[in-house]
Amino acid sequence: MPSLPHTISNAAMLLRSKKISSVELTKACIDRIEKIDATLNAVVHRNFQGALAQAKKVDALGTFESPLSGIPYLAKDVYCEKGVTTTACSNVLRNKDYIPPFDSTTTKRLKAASAISLGKTNTDEFTMGASTETSCFGVTKNPWDLSRVAGGSSGGSAAAVAADECFFALATDTGGSIRQPAGFCNCAGMRVTYGRTSRYGVMSMASSLDTIGCITKTVEDTAIVLSAIAGADPLDGTTADVPVPDYRKALTGNVKGLKIGLPKEYFIDGMNAEVESAVRDAVKVLKDLGATVKEISLKHTKYATPTYYVLCPSEVSSNMARYDGVRYGHTVKEPKDLLDYYERVRSEGFGPEVKRRIMIGTYALSAGYYDAYYRQAQKVRTLICKDFEDAFEDVDVILSPISPTPAFKIGAHADDPVAMYLEDVFLDGQVMAGIPCMSVQCGFSKENLPIGLQIMGPQWGEEIVLRTGDAYQKATDWHMRKPRI
Ligand code: GLN
C-alpha cells in the first residue's frame, strides 16, 4: 500500500486509479486513531464497524464518481447521524447516549457523495467555548504541543485533521469555532455565508449565528467539501436559494489586481509580535503575486465581541430549553414534583459554561432588560454589518490574524470566563455580518506553534476567499508541515 495520502484531492486520485482502496484508507485512519487518540482525545464516539462496511460497499461499486467517494471523515459531536451516538459532549445527552434516529442534511449529503463516516469529534459542551475544555469528555490536546489547547469549540475536529486521523472533519462556527482551532492546529477552515449551508440536524447553539462547515488541510479540500454540502435545503428555512458553484473552479491561482484591505482595528499596539509579522509576511506574499493592499477601517470592531456575548447567550437560553429530560437525554429518579424534576435534570446535566450562558441570556431577554441589552445589541450588529458592506465597496478581501496569540496552555483561562470570551476578538465581527471567512496556515512561532491568517469576503463571496487562500497556499508550504505525534 502506498503511504497514506493526506489530502482529499490526493486520496481521490489514488482511489480512482485503483492504487488504494477505500477500505485501506479507512483502516489507516482507524489504526491512527487507535494509536494516538488516547493521547489527543479528539474522537469521542467511534463508528468503525459502520465505516468499514460503508467503505466495502464503495469499493465494490468502484466508480468513485464524487471526489469524496470512499474518503473517511469525522464529524463534530453535534451533527446528528442516524444510528451514531451524538452527545454535544454534554452529560445531558451522554448519560443516556443519545442515538439520533435521523441524519442532518450535511451527513446525508456526504452519504450521497459516498464519504465514509468514522465517528464524532470532541467539542466544548454544545459548542460553547474557545478551547474544548468545557467538554464532558475532557480537553482535546493540541498535536503540536500536548500542554496546549487545540482551540475550540471544534478542537477535536482540528486536532483530528492535523494528526491525520481523518481526511477532513465537519465543524461548526458560531463565533469562530471553525477558524480558531484550524489556526491553532495548522489546518484550513472556512466559515461560510450565513444561509449557505443547512443547519438542519445539527444541534443548535445560537441559531442566527451558527454555520456549518469543515476543517481540512488545504483550501482545495475545503472547496471540494463545500461543493458537496452547500446549497438550499427545504428543511432549513434560513438557507438561501443561491446556486452552488463547483468551488474548485475558483482556484485559479491568480490574484493579479486583487484588492486587499487591512483593517487598522485588527492590528493594534501590543499585539503578539510573531502573529503580526506572520500575517504581514503573508500579505507581502499576496502582494508579490500581484495583489494591491490598502489600510481600511472597520470602526465598530471593538463592539463585536461584547455584542456577540449578548446575542449568543440570548439565543442559547432559548435553544437549551429543549433539554428537559422528558423526551430524551439525562433524567432523574423520584422527583418530588415537576419543578424539582426540571431543576435536577438541568443542574445535573449541564456544565458551568452552559448554565452561565442560560442565565446571561435569560437576563438579557427578560422584560425589564430586553430593550437595554438584546435590542441594543441587534442595533450594533447592524452597524457592524454596515462597516463590512462599506469596506467591500472598496476592496475584494480583508485580511487579519485569526487569534491574538498562538494556542494557549490548557487551563490558562480556567478561572476567567471573560478572558476566554476575549479569545474571539478577531472572530466575532464576521459573525455579526454573516460573511464568509477562513483560516489559512501562515507561519509558526518560535515555539513551533501554528499561526493562522484570516481571509474575509463579502456575503456569498466564498469563491474569492477560496481563490485568495489557494493562491497563497500555492506560493507557500506552511500547510505541508505536520506535527510530530
Ligand atoms: N468562542 C465562541 C463562544 O464560546 C465560539 C463558539 C462557537 O463558534 N461555537 O461562543
Instruction: Name which of 89, 143, 84, 144 is nearest 108 in CA terms.
Output: 84
Q: Which three cell numbers stand for residue 422?
A: 476575549
Catalytic residue among 135, 153, 317, 400: 153
d(CA 370, CA 387): 25
d(CA 118, CA 33): 10
Ligand 1 atom with minimal separation from the 123 CA: 9
Does residue 482 carry a pLDDT above 70? yes
Catalytic residue among 9, 177, 204, 317: 177
Q: Which protein residue has the closest C-alpha to ligand 1 atom 4?
A: 129
Name the strand (E) or helix (H) holding 296. Answer: strand 292-296
Instruction: With beta carbons less than 8 A apart as the criterion, state whether 225 and 68 touch.
Output: yes
Per the annotation, the verdict on 445 as an active-site residue is: no
CA of 177 to the centre of ligand 1 (A): 5
Average pLDDT over residues 421-450: 97
Model pLDDT for residues 25-63, shown as the tens digit of each residue = 999 999 999 999 999 999 999 999 999 999 999 999 999
What DSSP assignment string belongs to 15-83? HHTTSS-HHHHHHHHHHHHHHHHHHH--EEEE-HHHHHHHHHHHHHH----STTTT-EEEEETTB-BTT
DSSP state of 375: I
Average pLDDT over residues 57-74: 96
Q: Among residues of the chain, what percentage have pLDDT more than 70?
A: 99
Considering the entire predicted model, what is its pTM? 0.97
Pocket lining for ligand 1, CB < 6 angstroms: 127-130, 153, 172-177, 205, 312, 424
Ligand 1 atom with minimal separation from the 309 CA: 10
Q: Which three cell numbers stand for residue 321?
A: 430549553
Does residue 4 carry a pLDDT above 50? no
Is omega for the bond preceding 153 within 30 degrees of 0, making it cis? yes
Instruction: With beta carbons less than 8 A apart as the criterion, state whether 451 and 442 touch.
Output: yes
Model pLDDT for residues 166-211, shown as the tens digit of each residue = 999 999 999 999 999 999 999 999 999 999 999 999 999 999 999 9
Per the annotation, the verdict on 104 as an active-site residue is: no
Catalytic residue among 21, 76, 117, 204: 76
Average pLDDT over residues 337-351: 95
Ligand 1 atom with minimal separation from the 173 CA: 8
Ligand 1 atom with minimal separation from the 431 CA: 8
Residues 6+ apart with CB under 8 A from 376: 310
* pLDDT band at 97; cut points 50, 70, 90: confident
Instruction: With beta carbons less than 8 A apart as the criterion, state whether 203 and 80 touch.
Output: yes
Q: Which protein residue has the closest C-alpha to ligand 1 atom 5?
A: 175
Per the annotation, the verdict on 153 as an active-site residue is: yes
